[in-house]
Chain A
Amino acid sequence: MGMKKKTVRKTFCYRNCDDFAAYLNHMARLGWHFKEHRTGLIFEQGEPEDSVYAVEVFSKADETDTRPLPETEEFAEYCEAAGWKFVDAWRKFVVFKRIRPDAVPIMTDEERFEAISEADGHSVWRWLGVSLAWSIMQLLEFHSGFKYSIFRNRELIIAGTWFLLFLLAAARAVQFLFWKRRCVRRMEQGRKLFFGRDASDKWDSWLYLTILGIQALSLAYIGEGWIALVILGMAAALILMGFLIAHFRPDATVSAIIQTLGGFAICIAALTAFTILGQSERQLDQAVVEPPVVYSDIWDDPGEPEDIYSKRYESVFGAWNICHLEYADGELYYEVFRSDHAWVLDGVWRDIMKGRATKEGTDCTELWDAEIAILSTADYYKVRFENVILDIRCDRHPLTEADIASIVEAFGLR
């Protein structure tokens, strides 16, 4: 009859390998003996024993390995000669059980520190790099199309999430550097190193989950919950793939192929979902609104418009109306940006002032009695007041003082 088994889903990072070994020792004293790792730590029930386990970090293994490499098995031969029996290996972890009381320590503190700091360092710097790169991309997007980002809560939520993830990655990197320095000092003082958990290791994963959870809830709150669902779907697919790989433990080549193809398929599925669901969103387009100001609010009624394009985007930083009205005998195009934050309007002003037609425009500040007003060579008036910017073009050109007074009143610019 088979021995009773149980799977424990407990995770340790490389810096906690001594706590990991202590945990295995503790379980052995309770009668649960570690056998292997698949989707979690698998223990087999037996007699309680005062076993001694050692968990080492093997540099030649890879993060994606689910089973011992030939090099790991060769290393295990040396360890067995030294009094340590090989139990299992996955990723860069190698677990041994002591079989002789006089067993020599497997590695020196310096060697362990080097292997562990290299292994954990890869993860820390890689994640810092990825989150920094995404944050910079978001910043560049904001910079190149400020008005398209600042008035959409969705863009702000996504950019904010990446920025928070970057801050967390940076905090991890700083914590890692402090950890390294502490270890080096202890070694210089001739003190033994113990690679155990500290308080921050416990909240690390929870913080990531909290940030992603806040993002999902925020997107759902603004009616963009479908984005969160696609992201959750991707995450679930990746977790399932990882679970299956961990359970079946294919060799390194097969595992790499599965991860590459699987990752590719998940990305394609996610992009397809974004495209289809995004297309549906565009068809519904909640940004479409009644034009806030029409031709007849300013001048004589030219009749019904033959074509209307009117959208409004709103975020916590303000609102942006864009409208284009075509009449049989007239045309009106305008964009109105409203915000209580001067820096937002500064960014919008920089955006709308790009382009040679504007740069070569004429100053008409006095005519509008505004903070600043420019008439571009393409006949667009770009006008800034305290809390609002107006970008307007119409068939009645050039505008007279009376026209401007009507426009100011219709848009409530003062």
Chain B
Amino acid sequence: MAREQLQTLTEPMYYILLALTEECCGVDIMEKVRTLSRGRVTVGPGTLYAMLAKFEEKDIIRLTAADGRRKSYIITDAGREELKKEFERLQTMVRDGAFFFR
């Protein structure tokens, strides 16, 4: 799910979706995001819980397993497409900025 008015993903959203490119248990996502971002990005449990619910509602991710309260998710094709668009947008921004910061 993007920020509807800007059509972009926030940093936590981006890293959560990156973490879910492989099937992952919800409670492990926080640690995975920290690892992927080398400790730079931290997602709190409240933020994560709310985002997983919204992503699932928007069909960006899907539930793959539920063991009691523990649920596992994986990104859907639509979610992968959103993630790819965001990655390309960020790459374009880096390329445009490279001229000024060479």
Contact = CB atoms under 8 A, between A and B. Distances in A.
B45 A106 contact: yes
Interface string B25-57: 011101100000000001111111110000000
A56 B44 CA distance: 13
B85 interface: no
21 contacts: A74-B69, A75-B46, A77-B26, A78-B26, A78-B27, A78-B46, A80-B27, A81-B45, A82-B30, A82-B44, A84-B45, A104-B30, A106-B44, A106-B46, A107-B44, A107-B46, A107-B47, A108-B44, A108-B47, A111-B50, A112-B46
A84 B71 CA distance: 19
B44 to A, nearest CB: 5
Contact of B45 (A70, A73, A104): A104
How many residues of A sit at the interface, in one of the four size bands?
20 to 34
B69 A73 contact: yes
Nearest to A60: B53
Interface string A51-80: 000001000000000000010011111111
Contact of B71 (A73, A74, A76, A81): A74
B70 A77 contact: yes
Contacts of B42: 104
Interface of A: 56, 70, 73-82, 84, 104-108, 111-112
**6 closest residue pairs by CB, A with B:** A107-B46, A78-B45, A81-B27, A82-B45, A79-B45, A74-B69
B65 to A, nearest CB: 14
Nearest to A78: B45
A272 B34 CA distance: 65
A318 to B, nearest CB: 61
Nearest to B45: A78
A70 B69 contact: yes
A166 B46 CA distance: 36
Contacts of A106: 44-46
A77 B27 contact: yes
B80 to A, nearest CB: 24
Contacts of A77: 26-27, 69-70
Given A78-B48, A78-B49, A107-B47, 17 more contacts: A74-B69, A75-B45, A77-B26, A78-B26, A79-B46, A81-B27, A81-B28, A81-B30, A81-B31, A82-B30, A84-B45, A106-B45, A108-B44, A111-B44, A111-B46, A111-B47, A111-B50
